[in-house]
Amino acid sequence: MRTLLVLLLVLGSLTPMPAAAAAAVCVTSCDTLDPSQAAQESFPLPDKVINGRVLRLHASDPDGMAWASIDSAVEGDAVWLDRSWDGGATWDGLLGKATVPSTWTGTRTLMYNLTDPASHRRGLLRACGDAQGVGCTAWIYPAVCDTACDGTAPGSGDSQPVGSTTIFGRTVRLHFDGNGMAWAGIEAGGSGDEIWLDRSWDAGASWPDGSSLGRTSVPSGATGTHTTAFATRDPRGRLYGGAVRACGREATHDQGSCTAWASPATTRAAGAADALMWSYEPYTAWWPSSWWNSAVAVTALADAGGSDAALARTFDVNRVAFPAGARSSDPIDGHFISRAIDDTAWWGLAWIAAYDRTHDARYLTEATTIGDYVSGFWDTGTCGGGVWWDRERTYKNAVTSGLYLRLAASLHLRVAGDTVWGQRAKTAGDWYLNSGLINASGLVNDGLTASCANNGQTVWTYNQGLGIGGLVELWRATGETSYLDAARRLGDAAMSGLTSGGVLVESCDTGTNSCDDNQKQFKGIFMRYFGDLAAATGSATYRAFAQKQADTLWAGDRDPLNRIGQRWTGTTPNVTDWRTQASGLEAVLAAG
């Protein structure tokens, strides 16, 4: 695989600027990884010769890391890396400094990361050495490439996500082509006027390595020009959710003017998924800091056809045991299992979604392991069945029983030659319909009392959705239309009983109320399974309802960076974070 690296030719001073001790950066590996573990080795720059010694920069594109070496050296010669986060203006120097020992003719540093997704920034690296004189290579960083690489001509299509800006009669516009590449244009201008893009990886808070991208001047005799196109995602650097703005300057004045920041959306789902990935932390491989909510975000990412690499890394990093406080207030026992049976089951459904996306058998195996654990809490001794909410067996509620129903039916449909999960799913579905969880209005209350009666507690949208999703999947597993009919009844009840003006609402996002971190994701879970019902039935009414949710939130609850809030009509008080983003993404996906 060809490593795409570009050179920044201005070396600046060879003496490191004063800086605090460099904090370790972790992406898929942390700084100071041994080069023997590199997935690839390439040489992006010509060697630098210092008094006969050979200074060389090495890079591993799959790791997103680089290291330095010095050869033909003598005892006491040294080699290190410099890393800059502001385009080379300042840098952390002497990273990994290594000195050539006696009898050796060379040495190397350890590996350091080129990007820092947790802080939303891209770095520059160079190799430096001291061999009776100090010298450095040029700076390098990987070229930003998404559907195309920085500096290409704009593709077909032209959308303008934010309003234009003017400066001394000139009009400056931000454009996105159909591939999500950004470019800037200036109109009604004259010779010498300038246009450029700024690019930020932290939602417009800063742009130290992305100012004046594609800067170009209006040629003599023309009234306008435009830049080349630049990417707003860096999948190889694990950077998503980048923002750009268009800026321009009239030739005879120093000041410029810029549009608002924006991110592209080649499709609604692509834009919403990209904004969700902005909050993903690739080293710890989850969305800090909510455990079950991260499982739902994984499900949304898989449903959207998102990053297979992120799915795999989440699986690999998180299937081990964690102490209490590391991922949840409870310890995680390994295989995503904890005392919270519902939390565990969410991860089972996440790996079903990942399996459907990738067909990687290890995800299905993990979902089966989780399903077996959850099944161990099915108990006919209390209320005739149902799954306990926790290991302490304190509560039989709708969420855990709905999760188990969907998970069991899903496993039956995917495990070849299954003779176990199908019967478990049917038993769970029959119990669910006769348990009393569904009230006289066709809405699902939170759970059952100690005497096994409907407890009349809040009707949460995700409980309604899980009931629908479990019954639809059970219909697929058995072919019995009574289960699909029951799912329809729950769907119909939700459309009339859980909406305002035809838009889905949670009880906590009405009036001046606000939703907690759990409740922020409930509506998206409902829409995932309501969309499944629409697909299973082909109902035009259901499809129209799903479309209305997506249209409403996209028009009224989305900012120019494609971030989606809790209240899909955009009313206040509103809140936006990765949980509301995952919820909104599922609503967009449900509309197809």
pLDDT reported for residue 22: 72
Question: Is 287 in contact with 293 (CB distance < 8 Å)?
Answer: yes
CA atoms within 13 A on the CB side of 206: 9
Using a 10 angstrom Cβ sphere, with 0-12 exposed, 13-18 middle and 19 or more buried, the burial of residue 125 is buried
Low-confidence residues in the chain, pLDDT < 70: 1-21, 142
pLDDT reported for residue 141: 77
Domains and CATH numbers, the chain: 35-136 (2.60.40), 165-258 (2.60.40), 282-371 (no CATH), 377-475 (no CATH), 501-591 (no CATH)
Question: Is 454 in contact with 448 (CB distance < 8 Å)?
Answer: yes
Question: Is 191 in contact with 214 (CB distance < 8 Å)?
Answer: no
Question: Is 343 in contact with 291 (CB distance < 8 Å)?
Answer: yes
Task: List the structure tokens of 201.
Answer: 């990886």
What's the rounded Cα separation, in Å, for the pair 421 and 409? 7
- DSSP per position, 116-168: EGGGTEE-EEEEEEESSSEEE--EEEEPPBSSSBTTBPP-S--B--S--EEET
pLDDT reported for residue 3: 35
- Write down the number of H helices and E strands in the chain: 12, 23
pTM attached to this predicted model: 0.93
Beta strand extents in 469-530 (DSSP E only)? 499-500, 503-504
Cross-strand pairs, 444:
438
Q: Compute φ and ψ for 208, nearest 5 degrees.
A: -65, -30
**Which residue in 108, 24, 21, 117 sits closest to 69, CA to CA?**
108
pLDDT tens-place string over residues 537-553: 999 999 999 999 999 99
pLDDT reported for residue 401: 98
Task: List the structure tokens of 218.
Answer: 């209006």
pLDDT tens-place string over residues 241-277: 999 999 999 999 999 999 999 999 999 999 999 999 9
DSSP-derived pairing of the beta strands 78-84 and 503-504: unpaired
DSSP-derived pairing of the beta strands 115-116 and 112-113: unpaired
Three-point CA angle 551, 556, 559, nearest 5°:
110
What's the rounded Cα separation, in Å, for the pair 388 and 374? 9
Task: List the structure tokens of 6.
Answer: 């570009």
pLDDT reported for residue 21: 58
Cα first-last separation, the chain: 35
Cross-strand pairs, 546:
none
**C-alpha pair distances (Å), 121 with each of 16, 278, 288, 309, 559:** 20, 12, 18, 20, 22
Give Cα 490 to chain centroid, integer Å: 31
The three-state secondary structure class of 499 is: strand
